[in-house]
Amino acid sequence: MRSKKAYILDALVPDLVSDFLYYDRKEDELLPRGSIEAAVRNGELSWEEIADRFRQELLKNENAEKGE
């Protein structure tokens, strides 16, 4: 059985992705709206690379909280 936090995370992640791809790009001059998706389409980036970067940051923050 999945935990309550897992279900909460399931609801939260789509909002985070929307923020990353759309809302946070509204006034971003370096990565305007649609530029990330275009970079994936033209092979400049992959969704796996982006997900790996998120994973690295999550682990870095987890290790910082542990004092490592």
Can you tell me the distance from the alpha carbon of 11 to that of 14, in angstroms, rounded to the nearest whole number?
A: 6
pLDDT tens-digit series, residues 39-58: 999 999 999 999 999 999 99
Which pTM value belongs to this model? 0.79
- The pair of structure tokens assigned to 53 is 């970067």
- Identify the pLDDT of residue 31: 94
pLDDT tens-digit series, residues 2-12: 999 999 999 99
Residue 46: partners with Cβ closer than 8 Å, 6 or more residues away: 40
Look-up: residue for tokens 């992959």?
46
Can you tell me the distance from the alpha carbon of 25 to that of 19, in angstroms, rounded to the nearest whole number?
A: 8
Residue 26: partners with Cβ closer than 8 Å, 6 or more residues away: 33
